[in-house]
Amino acid sequence: MQIFNYFLGLVLVGVIGFVMFEKVLVIKLVGDSQNSKPNQITTLYDTAPKPISKAIKEPIKKTVKKKFKVVIVSGHVADRRKASKQDGRGAKSAGGVYEYRFNDNISSWFKQKKYQLENVEYQVILATQNVSLKERVNFTNKILKPDLYIEIHHDSALLRDIKRAKREGADGKMWRLISGFSMHVSSQNRFYKENLKFAKILSNQFLNKNFKPNLYHSTTNRFPLIDKKRGIYNRIKPYGLYILYHLKNPTVLLECATIINSKDEKMVNSPQNQIKMVNAINNAIKIYIKTKK
């Protein structure tokens, strides 16, 4: 019992001591509210830290609100004089139309609210804005810092194979090969795993909508076809791509169709087919976000 009383005494002394110490500390930091004039107290309390409960709640709110950021870019530029010497208008279609127009046809849909996912923030860069390749990579790395970068392109073939296809005729084997969509990633990119993951998801969505993968590039021995079912190619030196080397976020380059083939050109000129592709891209983004949670 004596020990208990002694212990109780110690606790009491401790509590009183702590309260006094706290009081002195508070007076030092924010002033003695009981002995100061009211206006002085207000000034001092303005600089005091916020109550802990508020301070904890605020950063949580911010993380919940953060949207998934996607940058959609049209490959190439409309006017190289406004961009750089390294930039161009891209491939020419069977009908003689430059690729950048086809790229903008797809990318433009994402500017409409109707074609934007609710929880996703879109940044669309069109070829007609004439942002050079280096500029858009710098801008993406330094300012946009997205979660995903998708570059829209339309494909062609080597001149010797186009000539061969023309010789064979419209229903020949070569035109059947030079057609369809493909995805391009790089094992020399720091996000290779993520790039491949998104490319697979995106390709599945294109296949679901009955678009056919382009296997033509595997016959040219320039870059390896790493997924035959899905038309996914690995772009490594000397056939690497600037964006796949330099972007500091997951990146996929998508060739929507092969416009040197007149059937493909006709197909992508239809707004219905363009919207099908836009929906396929949005479905893929939605599925990819779920894999991140």
Chain positions contacting Zn ion, by CB under 5 A: 75, 90, 153
Q: Say how far apart CA 185 and CA 231 lie, in whole Å.
A: 11
Run of H or E including 65: helix 52-65
Smallest gap from residue 223 Cβ to Zn ion (A): 14
Shortest approach of Zn ion to residue 76 CB, angstroms? 6
251 CA to centre of own chain: 7
CB of 153 to Zn ion, least distance (A): 4
Output 91 or 283, the one with its CB closest to Zn ion.
91
Question: Which of residues 201 and 256 has its CB atom nearest to Zn ion in the complex?
Answer: 256
The CA angle 133-78-267, to the nearest 5 degrees, is 105
Q: Tell me how far, at minimum, the Cβ of 91 lies from Zn ion, in Å.
A: 6
Distance, CA of 177 to CA of 171 (rounded, Å): 11
Spatial separation of the C-alpha atoms in residues 35 and 48, rounded to whole Å = 18
Residues 159-197 as b/e (b if ≥16 CB within 10 A, e otherwise) read eebbebbeeeeeeeebbbbbbbbbbbbbeebebeebbbb
Instruction: Specify the residue, 127 or 165, whose C-beta has the smaller distance to Zn ion.
Output: 127
Q: How many Å apart are CA 153 and CA 259, to the nearest integer?
A: 10
Nearer to Zn ion, 153 or 276 (CB): 153
Nearer to Zn ion by Cβ, of 147 and 151: the residue is 151
Give me the least distance between CB of 230 and Zn ion, in Å please.
19
Least spacing, CB of residue 255 vs Zn ion, in Å: 7
In one letter, which amino acid is 72? I
Q: Work out the number of other CB atoms within 10 angstroms of the CB of residue 19.
A: 10
By Cβ distance, which residue is nearest to Zn ion?
A: 153
In this complex, which beta carbon is closest to Zn ion, that of residue 90 or of residue 146?
90
Nearer to Zn ion, 76 or 200 (CB): 76
Q: Which residue has the tokens 């110690």?
A: 10
Residue 153 or 200: which CB sits closer to Zn ion? 153
Minimum Å distance from CB 52 to Zn ion? 55
Structure tokens given for 45: 């309390």
CB 243 within 8 A of CB 254: no
| Backbone region of residue 115 per phi and psi (left: phi > 0; alpha: psi in -120 to 50; beta: other values) | alpha
> CB pairs under 8 A, 24+ apart, for 59-63?
none
Provide, rounded to whole angstroms, the least separation between the CB of residue 99 and Zn ion.
Answer: 5
SS3 235: coil
